[in-house]
Amino acid sequence: MNIDSIQNGVVIDHIKAGKSMEIYNLLQLYNLDCPVALITNAHSGKMGAKDIIKIDSENLDIDLDVIGLIDPNATVNIIRHGQLVEKKALTLPLELRDVLKCKNPRCITSVEQDLSHVFRLTDKQSGTYRCLYCEAKAERRN
Amino acid sequence: MRSLIDILELSTQEIDELIATANDIIEHPEAYREKCRYKKLATLFFEPSTRTRLSFEAAMYELGGQVLGFSEAQSSSAAKGESVADTVRTVSCYADIIAMRHPKEGAPLVASMAASVPVINAGDGGHNHPTQTLTDLLTITREKGRLNNLSVGFCGDLKFGRTVHSLITALSRYEGIKIVLISPDELKLPSYVKKDVLKKKGITYVQTRDLEAVMPELDILYMTRVQKERFFNEEDYLRLKDMYILTPDKLHNAKSDLSIMHPLPRVNEIHTSIDADPRACYFRQALCGKYIRMALILKLLEIE
Ligand SMILES: [Zn+2]
């Protein structure tokens, strides 16, 4: 894989330096069987330093919107045949299923291991997610 | 098929309808004696709450229905490690409607997603207790004839009292409500309730430690119990629990038609000498609890 350019896939750019590993884990990129490049502390005129993730895959089926949870300022570029075809705007998903874990010890999810951890976006402006079951606020990562 | 997990699932119109049904039951109890004949209510109480359970059971019996269930987790399948979902799937085979109390927040919601019959949340930890709120709303309507244009004082533990949070939330949907918050600094209403409910809905509210100073303006005084289990040390509990003990002399400047409410059980926060005062309505409130549950059971079972 050529780190500089990919033919088909996704480039997640302008990630706050140091945050790329969190995005890698949240999107579970370790499960992909295509090449994934993590570039940390790259030089950026605007930001000083930034992280970049490049995913080299023709048909990628992952929910990129959740990136906004970690870094709402990251940009997502879709690449086809070496060309930038789409700059994807990040909109926070209305529901997160098994993405975040409820940390409330009084929540039913704390005793029933088989339950999905579901969070709903309850306030778009502040990006607040609350547990479907106990309504505890999700702990934001940024 | 509907369940009731959170009071806000009911529109104000539906609440009005429930209150109307409850009032009709109070006036014509004989007309309702057979409404739930051959129907069964399962009371699944994973933690004990005798008062709430008896209220549900009495409600179902007065509708001519029958009741089955358990009153603590030790005697239930949960003790053997069964999930809430499996328990209610099984119980759905035996009962037409379920009332569930559970120490974990969200358990009744999980139940409602798995059950094939309606589920009523009868309290999930410190989270929701919609039938208590319905009880309070029916009581206020019966005492005051309205749910709007009221000055409502809440006194005692406003920090942990879910009864208080959820009644404030329910009242915030009506016009002309003024909320008066009376508590020690340590037990003030949490800021998220102020922000998400009072400020968001533009509700007028005041916060004070001085009950007597605000007494003259109150239409309703909602007293609460300071719960021992909320405190880490005995000292704090003992200091705070006796801060507001309602005695007859404290009512000297109260309105003549004040309504004194309390979700019960009380410890000592309302002196027993007040019980005979016509303004004390906490026992009428307990009675309302049965009637509004009857109305709710009818609604969820879609019985006219
Ligand atoms: Zn939760």
The CATH number covering residue B293 comes to: 3.40.50.1370
Tell whether B149 and B234 lie within a shared domain.
Answer: yes
Assess A85–B contact: CB distance below 8 Å, yes or no.
Answer: no
Q: Which two tokens stand for residue B230?
A: 């909320």
pLDDT in tens, A4-54: 678 899 999 999 999 999 999 988 899 999 999 999 999 988 888 999 999
DSSP assignment string, chain A: --SS--SSEEEEEEEETT-HHHHHHHTTGGG-SS-EEEEEEEEETTTEEEEEEEEE-SS----GGGHHHH-TT-EEEEEETTEEEEEEPP---SEEESSS----TTBGGGT-TTS--EEEEEETTTTEEEETTT-PBPPP--
- Of A10-19, A59-68, B125-134, B137-146, give the lowest mean pLDDT range: A59-68
Instruction: Report if residue B35 sits inside a domain.
Output: yes
Instruction: Give the rounded distance of the alpha carbon of A88 from its chain centre.
Output: 13
| B41 burial level (CB within 10 Å; 0-12, 13-18, 19+) | buried
Same domain (yes/no): B51, B122: yes
In a domain, B188, yes or no: yes
The torsion defined by the Cα of A118, A140, B106 and A111, in degrees rounded to 10, comes to 90
C-alpha dist (Å) from residue A16 to A42, A45, A50, A84, B131? 10, 13, 5, 21, 48
Contacts with A114 from chain B: Cβ below 8 Å: 83
Residue A109 at interface with chain B, using a CB cutoff of 8 Å? yes
Q: Measuring CA to CA, which residue among B256, B177, B179 is closest to residue B216?
A: B256
Contact B203, B185 (CB under 8 A): no
Burial profile B86-99: b = 16 or more Cβ within 10 angstroms, e = fewer: ebbeebbeebbbbb
Rounded distance between C-alpha atoms, residue B82 and residue B70, angstroms:
15
Residue of A108, A113, A128, A130 to mutate for B, most B C-beta atoms under 10 A: A108
pLDDT of residue B237: 86
* Per-residue pLDDT, A82: 87
* Angle of CA points B201, B132, B166, to nearest 5°: 25
Give contacts of B102 with chain A, Cβ < 8 Å.
108
Residue B113 sits in the same domain as residue B160: no
Whether B293 is catalytic is: no
Burial environment of residue B175 by CB neighbours within 10 A (0 to 12, 13 to 18, 19 or more) = exposed
Q: What is the pLDDT of residues B266-290, one digit of tens each?
A: 989 999 999 999 999 999 999 999 9
CA distance A137 to chain B (A): 11
Q: What is the DSSP letter of B248?
A: G
Reported ipTM: the value is 0.89
Does B124 lie in the same domain as B137?
Answer: no
Tell me if A107 and B106 make a contact (CB, 8 A cut-off): yes
Q: How far is B237 from chain A (nearest CA, A)?
A: 22
Q: What gap in Å lies between CA A116 and CA A95, rounded to an integer?
A: 12
**C-alpha–C-alpha distance, residues B107 and B97, integer Å:** 16
B104 and B243 part of one domain: no
Tell whether A132 lies on the interface with B, counting CB pairs under 8 A.
yes
Are B116 and B135 contained in the same domain? no
The answer to whether A115 contacts B127, with C-beta atoms less than 8 Å apart, is: no
Question: Do both B138 and B219 map to the same domain?
Answer: yes
Q: A79-135: per-residue pLDDT in tens?
A: 999 889 999 888 888 999 988 899 999 999 999 999 999 999 998 888 889 999 999
Residue A51 and residue A41 in contact, taking contact as beta carbons nearer than 8 Å? yes
Same domain, B17 and B94: yes
B188 in the same domain as B138? yes
Q: Which residue range(s) make up the domain with B89?
A: 7-128+289-300
Token digits of residue B9: 């699932």
Q: For B168-177, what is each residue's pLDDT tens digit?
A: 999 999 999 9
What pLDDT was estimated at residue B282? 97
Please classify residue B145 by burial: count the beta carbons closer than 10 Å to its beta carbon, then call 0-12 exposed, 13-18 middle and 19+ buried.
exposed
What integer pLDDT is reported at residue B294 of this predicted model?
Answer: 98
Chain A contact present for B109, CB below 8 A = yes
| B223 Cα: distance to centroid of ligand 1 (angstroms) | 29
Chain B partners of A130 at a C-beta cutoff of 8 Å? none
- B2 lies in some domain: no
Say yes or no for a CB contact (<8 Å) between B105 and A111: no
Would you state the pLDDT for residue A1?
45
Find the mean pLDDT for residues B185-195: 92
Torsion angle, alpha carbons of A35, A41, A46, A48, to 10 = -170
Q: How many domains does chain B have?
A: 2
Domains of chain A and CATH, by start: 9-89 (3.30.70.140), 95-139 (2.30.30.20)
Alpha helices in B96-229 (DSSP H): 107-114, 130-144, 162-171, 191-193, 211-214
User: Cα dist. B162→B100, B165, B227, B289, B291 in Å?
Assistant: 17, 5, 12, 17, 22
Are both B182 and B263 inside the same structural domain?
yes
Across B224-229, average pLDDT: 84
In a domain, B1, yes or no: no
Alpha carbon of A25: minimum distance to chain B alpha carbons (Å): 28
Is the separation of the CB atoms in B220 and B152 below 8 Å? yes
Return the structure tokens found at B76: 């239930």
**Residue B211, pLDDT score:** 96
Beta carbons within 10 angstroms of residue B258's beta carbon: 20
Using the Cβ of B83 and the Cβ atoms of chain A, whether some distance falls under 8 Å is answered with yes
Considering the domain architecture, whether residues B216 and B120 belong to the same structural domain is answered as: no
What predicted TM-score, i.e. pTM, was given to this entire model? 0.88
- C-beta separation of B135 from B288 below 8 A: yes
pLDDT level of residue A58 (50, 70, 90 thresholds): confident
Instruction: Identify whether the C-beta of residue A44 lies closer than 8 Å to the C-beta of residue A16.
Output: no
Convert A65-94 to b/e letters by CB count within 10 Å (16 or more is b). bbbbbbbeebbbbbbeeeeeeeeeebebbe
Q: Answer whether B106 sits within 8 Å of A134, measured CB to CB.
A: yes
Answer yes or no: do B141 and B242 share one domain: yes
